[in-house]
A and B are shown apart, each in its own frame.
Chain A
Amino acid sequence: MSTRLPDHGRLIDRSRQVKFTFNGKWMRGHPGDTLASALLANGQTLVGRSFKYHRPRGIVASGGEEPNALVNLGRGARHEPNQRATTTELYERLEATSQNHWPTLEFDVGAVNAMVARFLPAGFYYKTFIHPRAFWKHVFEPIIRKSAGLGAAPDPETMDADRYEHFYAHVDLVVAGGGVAGLLAALEAGRAGKRVLLVEQNAHWGGRAPVDGDLIDGAPAEIWVKNAVEELEKMENVTFRTRTMLAGVYDHGYVTAYERVADHTPGEDAPRHRLWRIRTAQVISATGAIERPLSFPGNDKPGVMLASAVRDYIVNYGVAPGDTVVIVTNNDDGYRTALAAHRAGLKVACVVDPRAEADGDLPHEVRSLGIRVMAGSAISKVKGLKKVVSVRVQAHRGYDGGHEEIPCDAVAMSGGWSPVVHLWSHCGGKLTWDEDQACFRPDHDRPPTDQNGAGFVTCVGAADGALNGDVTMAATATAMAGLLGSDVSAPRVDVAREAPLAPIWVMPEAAGAKKRAKMWLDFQNDVKVSDVTLAAQEGYESVEHTKRYTTLGMATDQGKLSNINGLAVLAEALDKGIPQVGTTTFRPPYTPISMGAIAGEARGEVFQPLRRTPIHDWHEEQGAYMEPVGGWRRPYCFPRDGESHEDAVNREIDATRRSLGLLDASTLGKILVKGPDAGRFMDMLYTNMMSNLKPGKCRYGLMCSENGFLMDDGVVVRLDEDTFLAHTTSGGADHVHTHMEDWLQCEWWDWKVHTVNVTEQWAQIAVVGPNARKVLEKLGPDFDLSAEALPFMAMAEGKIGGFDTRVFRISFSGELSYEIAVPASQGRAFWDALHEAGAEWNATAYGTEALHVMRAEKGFIMIGDETDGTIIPQDLGLNWAISKKKDDFLGKRGQERVHMTDPDRWKLVGLETLDGSVLPDGSYCIASGKNANGQANVQGRVTSTYYSPTLSRGIAMGLVQNGPDRMGEVVAFNKVDGSTVEAKIVSPVFYDPDGEKQNV
């Protein structure tokens, strides 16, 4: 069984202990352990179950490529599923539970799937669950949902307790990977004075070199690494980070890196993850290589691991994956594991090597230690259920019935190495097949290109296919010299001479169908050699199709171990070469990153910017019920104790119509338009004539898009000969301003007009009701507010009660009304002063719903209610606001098109239900007959509908075919319950049609 060794463990601190739990059981590890190494140290080789067959699964790898050891980590607000034990640093009181099993890890009901595995081949979902149709929803899906899936989803009632952030960096060069190649690249770039960011996904520098015993400049690699890091520390132009993974490479030198700031110190007051958003001229990918598994029967059992991982656990963590190890390898590098295991005092039962001869330096050294090397042989069976008991070894080629059973409790496998070409490929770099090393490597002639068409990613070291230390350093130096235009000398690296590997993808060679059904390619998704072969037989020739059909490489590890083996098997089945089959697409992120990191700061209070008026705090203090309007929050109504929203709205309307209402209208858009050509410009923007407006006067105007559709409306004020103030809707201010600038900058660039959006400069308050003038006079204006001096649709400027005001006599309610703008810094004080002075008239704040109801009572349209982007002013009976005198305005041509002048267009009318009820919002006016789809024909729809407290009945506006010609006609509108309600077509002006109230 796996145990902690008495020595070794360069990364752990044996002087201290760290306690943690796995499935509720207390265990101990050391600082520096990963969860995976600590589990192995505690003899826990079984760590999870596979996705489809619920097969027992153990740790396979030692890094980010791990497919099996996924755990639920933490609990409550810090619970997170699918965390890789191999990259999770151990911390005190870490809580981990295994995944994908029921009821327990040791005894799993779903494992019965494994016994019927032959009934669940590739594509079985597609084939099996087609018929009968109804079974999918009621039978198949519930069962699959119960047995499939990985970790437990976080409790929806909890909120992630941690914080996250982004960070923007601009550099000359990003180096991904802190192994010896990456360190050398960063050193050279740093010495050349470049702004460098070096990131390493693990917590340690140096990569594999210290584990594999490379000698750099005659000393152990660890010494060189230490010196390199010390030199980097002294360079101000170099930033370097561990626990930071370069996640993705995108166009234009945009790169993301994922820093796990506080994963190893949970609960600390720090951002948990930081997503670096980087702009760089060059990316150096020193991402190393990943060892491939070998496909032999039973290669998925707990205890079968990558040979490099076995070395890592021994050397880095002082952990033995087993007492007796069998190594199976098609290359010389695998022998390093035999040496490491032997040095650690483990028993190496044998090295199984399918190559006919094993003559390199490393096999010689292994033999010299008395370790048995079985050349030309293969593993044909792994015995044991939840752990390895023995392996059966036979001839790889030419099986004659002879075999040998070798007891062992760990198997270290090596199928060669695949360069991590992900970062090269993210942005379109192409690959070439390296026959000698049997791997894809970057094709230097076809790099990913930047905005200038030049390559901007350079792979160095093992990521470039330089799999041996000496080649790695020499090639990195050459690449950096080319990039930097400087002389770079490579450190000398002494490594053993390695014989070529044999590109063996399946062993034994002549394994039959039964054995191939036990050779795993994708451990997490349970894809076997037989599945890929089957897919090929069924016509799946494209590697992308085969991937989706079999789910090969579609698990959370994204096929880091399975990709090359899978496509090699596919190539064999299709009788093609591997390069002809090609790889699937490498996409960012390199390994999964947290949603929190992607969201960054945007959660909680700062999830979204919320615009506040200068009076916003007052609304909140009053307990207003707020609604979103554009980016703002506006009070919908101000409910008092025990009052329903409906009651509050009715009260607010009543108070306003009877005496005095106050509305915070600060959100209204205000755009200043000035210049000698301002009048001409305004005439083009609005459908009606604005250039003949007299200074000091106001005019309601409509703004249309080029196509003639009504886009915005509002009151235009002429402040002086050259200056207009255009009021827009609350949500439309930014868009209208952009619209203006678009026309000014792109089409009428020679017109002398300037615009400025001054929306937020002003707090605007509507003082509304029969007592509106009285309250203003009480506050003490220094100018005349009388009907004669300041008539309807006029404006004046001056002081009221010491406030700097601009007063517009405009009314959206039909009452006597002053819209008063004061500088925002005076807004709240002015609002308070109005309430204080207005108390004797029961001054009542009203919200947007009261505003809506009152404007509907007056038949005023609302952009967004009566309009939806398909409505022209003529539909709304606004012909009076469309100038016939002007040669042109935006939308004029559009409105002349055939469909716009169709007499059958639906047009605006008022609607009164016969029973006084409120029509349902969005209700359709039913016409006779059915359409081609068997639905009732319709002849109109409701656009606004309210209960009018003024009239004590429901009122509505709607668009009805030929509506204005059908006054008095009764039509039917549909209701949600399927019935209809009858309504009479009337004028849309329900209240004070002659305007006597507002014009006093």
Chain B
Amino acid sequence: MSELASALPGAEYEGIVRVTEAGLRGMVTLKADLPDAANGVKAVTGQAVPEPRRINAGDVSVAWMAPDELLILCDHARADQVVRDLAEQLGTAHHLAVNVSDARAMFTLTGDTVKDVLGKLTPADLAALPLGEMRRTRLAQVAAAIWFSDAQTAHVICFRSVARYVFDLLALAARPGGDVGYH
């Protein structure tokens, strides 16, 4: 087996914040009746089903995406196993679990002005976005999900096909001279 390739391997940009492609990340979409699936999710991921918009982070993280949808983040190599484990745990309960790791690209932004940089691209109210909350929104013209793991670190998930566009956007927004000084 040859090496697996993320969308933009090694892409990075150093401006007023640092933008890096985060490499391959395991991602599993689970669509189910969430209260019914809670025990199964806990057994597989070690995480409780998050409250709306929250992300429960750990080795395996679980993010709330919609009233009937979770996104499970794990090591890339583990995603298929997570799908199998969910199938086993949830049994005949109506659900859909699928590996979507390769349908996505992830970026990490680090720096003091991450909110100002993202604020050029997303209409979401970043000041009101607490740590540990995932916001499904848009970055300029494409869908994205963003969350902050600390005040200087933002994570961005987008579709793999638009990884170049999103990286270019983030790099442009992070260009020196573009400080906004708002957040």
Choose from B2, B103, B161, B163 the contact partner of A758 (Cβ within 8 Å): B103
Report the bound CA distance from A600 to B140 in whole Å. 9
Please give, as numbers and ranges, the residues of chain A lying within 8 Å of B123 by CB-CB distance: 168, 277
Pair A829/B100 contact, Cβ less than 8 Å: no
Pair B168/A606 contact, Cβ less than 8 Å: yes
Interface size, chain B (Cβ < 8 Å): 55
Please give, as numbers and ranges, the residues of chain B lying within 8 Å of A274 by CB-CB distance: 180
Report the bound CA distance from A274 to B175 in whole Å. 14
Q: Is A754 an interface residue (CB 8 A)?
A: yes
Report the bound CA distance from A674 to B123 in whole Å. 34
Q: Which residue of B lies closest to A605 (CB)?
A: B168
Pair B142/A824 contact, Cβ less than 8 Å: no
* Min CB–CB distance A669 → chain B (angstroms): 12
Q: Is B10 an interface residue (CB 8 A)?
A: no
Please give, as numbers and ranges, the residues of chain B lying within 8 Å of A758 by CB-CB distance: 98, 100, 103
Q: Is A26 an interface residue (CB 8 A)?
A: no
List the one stretch of A289-297, A611-619, A988-996 in contact with chain B: A611-619
Given that A167-B180, A602-B141, A761-B100 are contacting pairs, would A825 and B24 also be in contact in the complex, using a CB cutoff of 8 Å?
Answer: yes
Pair A675/B96 contact, Cβ less than 8 Å: yes
* Min CB–CB distance A246 → chain B (angstroms): 16
Choose from B31, B159, B172 the contact partner of A606 (Cβ within 8 Å): B172
Q: Which residue of B lies closest to A761 (CB)?
A: B103
Choose from B102, B127, B142 the contact partner of A762 (Cβ within 8 Å): B102
Pair A609/B100 contact, Cβ less than 8 Å: no
Which has the most chain B C-beta neighbours within 10 Å: A163, A601, A674? A601
Q: Is A786 an interface residue (CB 8 A)?
A: no
B51-90 interface code vs A (CB 8 A; 1 in, 0 out):
0000000000000000010000000100000000000000
B1-24: which have CB < 8 Å to A? 1-7, 24
Please give, as numbers and ranges, the residues of chain A lying within 8 Å of B1 by CB-CB distance: 802-803, 826
A17-49: which have CB < 8 Å to B? none
Report the bound CA distance from A277 to B3 in whole Å. 44
* Min CB–CB distance B72 → chain A (angstroms): 13
Interface size, chain A (Cβ < 8 Å): 55
Choose from B76, B122, B163, B165 the contact partner of A168 (Cβ within 8 Å): B122
A593-631: which have CB < 8 Å to B? 600-602, 605-606, 608-614, 631
B120-138: which have CB < 8 Å to A? 120-128
Given that A601-B173, A754-B96, A756-B29 are contacting pairs, would A165 and B178 also be in contact in the complex, using a CB cutoff of 8 Å?
Answer: yes
Q: Is A468 an interface residue (CB 8 A)?
A: no
Pair A760/B142 contact, Cβ less than 8 Å: no
* Min CB–CB distance A245 → chain B (angstroms): 17
Please give, as numbers and ranges, the residues of chain A lying within 8 Å of B164 by CB-CB distance: 610, 612
Choose from B7, B96, B162 the contact partner of A672 (Cβ within 8 Å): B96
Q: Is B119 an interface residue (CB 8 A)?
A: yes
Given that A167-B119, A676-B94 are contacting pairs, would A602 and B140 also be in contact in the complex, using a CB cutoff of 8 Å?
Answer: yes
Q: Which residue of A lies closest to B179 (CB)?
A: A270
Given that A601-B172, A756-B31 are contacting pairs, would A609 and B141 also be in contact in the complex, using a CB cutoff of 8 Å?
Answer: yes
* Min CB–CB distance B85 → chain A (angstroms): 17
Please give, as numbers and ranges, the residues of chain A lying within 8 Å of B96 by CB-CB distance: 672, 674-675, 723, 754-756
Given that A611-B162, A802-B1, A826-B2 are contacting pairs, would A166 and B31 also be in contact in the complex, using a CB cutoff of 8 Å?
Answer: no
Given that A606-B169, A609-B162, A760-B102 are contacting pairs, would A829 and B119 also be in contact in the complex, using a CB cutoff of 8 Å?
Answer: no
A804-825 interface code vs B (CB 8 A; 1 in, 0 out):
0000000000000000000111
Report the bound CA distance from A823 to B180 in whole Å. 40
Q: Is B108 an interface residue (CB 8 A)?
A: no
Please give, as numbers and ranges, the residues of chain B lying within 8 Å of A159 by CB-CB distance: none
Report the bound CA distance from A238 to B11 in whole Å. 37
Q: Is B177 an interface residue (CB 8 A)?
A: yes
Report the bound CA distance from A672 to B142 in whole Å. 22
Report the bound CA distance from A803 to B175 in whole Å. 40
Pair A601/B100 contact, Cβ less than 8 Å: no
Given that A824-B160, A829-B5 are contacting pairs, would A754 and B102 also be in contact in the complex, using a CB cutoff of 8 Å?
Answer: no
Given that A608-B141, A610-B165 are contacting pairs, would A833 and B128 also be in contact in the complex, using a CB cutoff of 8 Å?
Answer: no
Report the bound CA distance from A262 to B178 in whole Å. 10
Q: Is A838 an interface residue (CB 8 A)?
A: no
* Min CB–CB distance B69 → chain A (angstroms): 9
Q: Is B101 an interface residue (CB 8 A)?
A: yes
Q: Is B176 an interface residue (CB 8 A)?
A: yes
Pair B165/A609 contact, Cβ less than 8 Å: yes
Report the bound CA distance from A759 to B128 in whole Å. 33
Please give, as numbers and ranges, the residues of chain B lying within 8 Å of A756 by CB-CB distance: 29, 31, 96, 98, 100
A138-173: which have CB < 8 Å to B? 163, 165-170
Please give, as numbers and ranges, the residues of chain A lying within 8 Å of B169 by CB-CB distance: 601, 606
Pair B120/A167 contact, Cβ less than 8 Å: yes
Which has the most chain B C-beta neighbours within 10 Å: A279, A761, A829? A761
B96-123: which have CB < 8 Å to A? 96, 98-104, 116, 119-123
Please give, as numbers and ranges, the residues of chain B lying within 8 Å of A606 by CB-CB distance: 140, 165, 168-169, 172
Please give, as numbers and ranges, the residues of chain B lying within 8 Å of A601 by CB-CB distance: 120-121, 140, 169, 172-173
Q: Is A268 an interface residue (CB 8 A)?
A: yes
Report the bound CA distance from A524 to B94 in whole Å. 71
Q: Is A852 an interface residue (CB 8 A)?
A: no
Pair A170/B160 contact, Cβ less than 8 Å: no
Q: Which residue of A lies closest to B162 (CB)?
A: A609
* Min CB–CB distance A397 → chain B (angstroms): 57
Please give, as numbers and ranges, the residues of chain B lying within 8 Å of A755 by CB-CB distance: 96
Please give, as numbers and ranges, the residues of chain B lying within 8 Å of A195 by CB-CB distance: 127
What would 8 more interface pairs be, CB under 8 Å, given A239-B182, A611-B162, A828-B5? A165-B178, A269-B176, A269-B177, A270-B178, A672-B96, A825-B5, A825-B101, A826-B1
Q: List 7 A-B contacts (CB under 8 A).
A: A239-B181, A601-B169, A606-B168, A609-B141, A754-B96, A760-B161, A761-B102
